[in-house]
Amino acid sequence: MAKKDYYEMLGVDKNASKEDIKKAFHKLAHKYHPDKKGGDEARFKEANEAYQILSDEKKRAQYDQYGNADGAGFQGNYDPRSAGAEGFGFDFSGFADQGGFGDLNDIFSEFFSGGMSQTKSRRGRDISTEIEIPFIDSIFGTERKILITKTSTCETCSGTGGKPGTAMKKCAKCNGQGKIHETKRSFLGTFSNVKLCEDCNGSGTVPAEKCTVCHGVGVLKKEQEVKVSIPTGIQDGEMIRLSGMGEAVPKGQTGDLYIKINIAPHPTWKREGPNLVTSLNIKLSDALLGTEYPIPALDGEIRVKIPEGVSPGEILRVKGRGVPLNKYKRGDILIKLNIKLPSKLSHKSRELIERLREEGI
C-alpha cells in the first residue's frame, strides 16, 4: 500500500510547525465538514486523519521515519455526523478563545446537535441512603420511617416561589417565552442555541411577590420523614427506589431516592433462596427411637417429628413455612439434624450400650 502523504493532505511542508498544522486543519475542517453546504466527507476524514498523526510528536516522528504510525488508519466506519467532539479523536478545549471563537468543545456540542433547543426540563439529583432491618422483617416485610435531609419542594408555595395568593407575571428576562436564544460564532460558522431561562426556570412567569419561606426559589433544604415499605422476601443489599423522593429543583422534575437494605443476621435462621434453614441438636436416644421436637419458627412454634434411626446431617423438610413467594405460596423450612453424643457415660448407660453392641447395633 502506498504511503499516505499527510503533509500534502493538510497542504503544509514537512518542516511545518505544530501551529501551522493546527491552522491548516482548522481551515480544511471549516471548508469540508459534511454538515456544511458544499462539504466533502472524504476530504474531511483525510484532513482529520492527517491531523491526528502530525499533531502528535511521537506519531509524527514515527511517520517521518517509517511511513506509518500507530493509529494512522482512522478511516474505519467513522461517521462525523454521528459523532460528538470526542468522535474526532482530539480535545478542542486547548484551542479556546482563538479569534473570538470561544470554547470549541461547547461549539461542537451545539454543532452536532444541529443547534437544537437545549430546553429540556431540569431534573433533581438522585440520592441514596441505607438502613438495617431485622432478619424477620426481610422475610415477612415491614414498614419503616426514616429521616433524611434533602432539597424539597417548598410546602408554603407548592414550588411556585410566590407568596400564597400572589399573582404571577410575565418573566422580563425571556419575555414570557421560558427560553433564551443565544448565538455563537466559530470557525465552522454561526450557531444558535436555545436554553432555559434561569429567572423563570422555563415557565415564562415569575411571582409578583416572593415566598417568604423559600425566598422565591420554590425549593429549600429541610429534614423530611419518608415512609418506606419493605416488601416480603427482600434480599440483603437490594435497593428500594422511591420515585420523586430525591432532590427537588425549581419548577423541574424531582429526582429519586434509593434505599439500600442491609439485613441483620439471625442467631439461628438463614435464608437459602425461598427456604429458611436452621439446625437442630438431638440426643442419641431420640435419633435411635424417634420423637418430636418443638422449634421456634419465625412466625410461631412448630413441632417437628424426628423419625426413628435418623443419621447425622440428615435434613428434614417442613413445607410451606419458608419465605413468602406470593400471596398464596411460600418456600419450605429445612432442618439439619445434629446428633449430640454424650461426653461421659454413667455405669447404667454403659451397660445398656454394651448390650446394644452385643446385638450388633
Whether the CB-CB separation of 285 and 361 falls below 8 Å is answered with no
Q: CATH 1.10.287.110 region(s) of the chain?
A: 6-83
Taking the CA atoms of the chain, what radius of gyration do you get in angstroms?
A: 37
Residue 100 has pLDDT above 60, yes or no: no
**Grid cell digits, residue 276:** 429458611
Q: CATH 2.10.230.10 region(s) of the chain?
A: 127-263
Q: How far apart, in Å, do the first and last CA atoms of the chain sit? A: 89
Q: How confident is the model over 183-206, as pLDDT tens digits? A: 777 656 677 778 888 778 778 888
Lowest average pLDDT, out of 129-138, 217-226, 308-317, 341-350, goes to 341-350
| Confidence at 272, pLDDT banded by 50, 70, 90 | very high
Q: What's 359's DSSP letter?
A: T
Q: Taking the model in full, what pTM does it have?
A: 0.58
Largest CA-CA distance found in the chain, in angstroms, rounded: 110
The angle subtended at Cα 334 by Cα 328 and Cα 335, nearest 5°, is 140
Domain 270-358 has CATH 2.60.260.20: yes
Higher pLDDT residue, 173 or 184?
A: 173
Whether the CB-CB separation of 152 and 283 falls below 8 Å is answered with no
| Confidence at 2, pLDDT banded by 50, 70, 90 | low
Q: Tell me what pLDDT residue 121 has.
A: 62
- Within 8 A by CB and 6+ apart from 4, the residues are 49, 50, 72
Q: Tell me what pLDDT residue 353 has.
A: 79
Give me the CATH code for the 6-83 domain, please: 1.10.287.110
Q: CATH 2.60.260.20 region(s) of the chain?
A: 270-358
Highest mean pLDDT among 115-129, 141-155, 167-181: 141-155
Q: Tell me what pLDDT residue 135 has.
A: 97
Mean pLDDT for 216-226 is 91
Q: Tell me what pLDDT residue 114 has.
A: 42
Among 245, 223, 244, 250, residue whose Cα is nearest residue 162: 250
Lowest average pLDDT, out of 53-57, 263-267, 320-324, goes to 53-57
Superfamily of domain 127-263, CATH level 4: Heat shock protein DnaJ, cysteine-rich domain (2.10.230.10)
Higher pLDDT residue, 333 or 35?
A: 333
Mean pLDDT for 3-24 is 87
Higher pLDDT residue, 280 or 179?
A: 280
Q: How confident is the model over 58-84, as pLDDT tens digits? A: 888 888 877 665 443 433 333 433 333
**Grid cell digits, residue 293:** 421436637
**Grid cell digits, residue 180:** 433564551
